[in-house]
């Protein structure tokens, strides 16, 4: 297949993807509201903060589920979100939540220069109740993703959720790598990146 035929085939598949994305969006619009309690979480200085207060003066909230400082993948997602914070916060508050203790979260977030609000769910059931952790052989495993919430009539509901992973729509580097002939070429996220001339 020559490059012109390949481009046509790709264009057709992209149209199919757009149609499926529209169908997913319609399903999300009609998802039943999922009631959440007003959990007590913790700021980076260990002071308590209610989930409801993270909405600030708005009725919607985006909550980024991060696996904590041990995960270079989650760190990359948060690093890339750092550049979008101002734009996203112009529409809706965006908050990152971590299973790490507040002091650990504070040190790590500072080292990454994250400019968005970060809170800790350490010692609470929030992450497991949200479906972003599970127990196996006595150990807790976390999953990354995002939850969207709304406040209605004094109650908190989750409207939608999604999981993060290589190639998802929430982290652009993977899509740029996919254009290359060698794709990611075995590359994996790191905590530090060397500048190449």
Domain count, the chain: 1
For position 105, which CATH number holds? Answer: 3.40.30.10
Identify whether 125 is part of a domain.
yes
Give the integer Cα–Cα distance in Å for 76 and 188.
10
Domain that holds residue 58: 31-177
Averaged confidence pLDDT in the chain:
95
In a domain? residue 66: yes
Residue 192 lies in a domain: no
Residue 20 lies in a domain: no
**CA nearest to 35, candidates 121, 141, 153:** 153
Does 53 fall in a domain? yes
Average pLDDT (169-182) is 94
Asked if the structure places residue 114 within a domain, the reply is yes
Burial of 1 (0-12, 13-18, 19+ CB in 10 A): exposed
Is there a domain that residue 196 lies in?
no
Given a cut of 60, whether residue 197 has pLDDT beyond it is no
* Phi-psi group of 99: left, alpha or beta (phi > 0 → left; psi -120 to 50 → alpha; rest → beta): alpha
Q: Global pTM? A: 0.92
Rounded to whole angstroms, the Cα distance separating 47 from 40 reads 10
The two counts, helices (H) then strands (E), for the chain are: 6, 10
Q: How far apart are CA 78 and CA 88, in angstroms?
A: 13
Q: What percent of the chain has pLDDT over 90?
A: 96
The CB-based long-range contact list for 111-117 (8 Å cut-off, 24+ gap) reads 112/75, 112/78, 112/79, 112/82, 113/82, 114/78, 114/79, 114/82, 115/82, 115/85, 116/81, 116/82, 116/85, 116/89, 117/54, 117/93
Average pLDDT over residues 112-136: 97
Contact 54, 93 (CB under 8 A): yes
In-domain check, residue 8: no
> Model confidence at 196, in pLDDT bands (50, 70, 90)?
low
Whether the pLDDT of residue 38 is over 80: the answer is yes
CA distances from 132 to 64, 93, 116, 128, 169 (A): 11, 20, 20, 6, 18
């Amino acid at each position: 297949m020559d490059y012109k035929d390949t481009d046509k085939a790709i264009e057709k598949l992209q149209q199919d993807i757009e149609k499926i994305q529209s169908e997913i969006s319609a399903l999300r619009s009609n998802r039943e509201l999922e009631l959440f309690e007003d959990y007590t979480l913790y700021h980076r200085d260990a002071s308590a903060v209610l989930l409801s207060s993270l909405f600030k003066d708005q009725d919607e909230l985006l909550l980024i589920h991060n696996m904590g400082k041990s995960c270079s993948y989650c760190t990359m997602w948060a690093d890339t979100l750092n550049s979008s914070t101002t734009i996203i916060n112009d529409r809706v508050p965006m908050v990152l939540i971590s299973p790490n203790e507040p002091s650990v979260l504070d040190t790590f977030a500072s080292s990454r220069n994250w400019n968005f609000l970060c809170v800790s769910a350490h010692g609470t059931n929030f992450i497991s109740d949200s479906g972003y952790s599970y127990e196996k052989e006595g150990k807790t495993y976390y999953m990354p993703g995002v939850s969207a919430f709304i406040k209605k009539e004094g109650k908190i509901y989750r409207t939608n959720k999604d999981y993060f992973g290589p190639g998802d729509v929430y982290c652009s580097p993977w899509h740029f790598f996919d254009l290359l002939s060698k794709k990611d070429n075995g590359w994996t996220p790191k905590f530090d990146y060397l500048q190449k001339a």
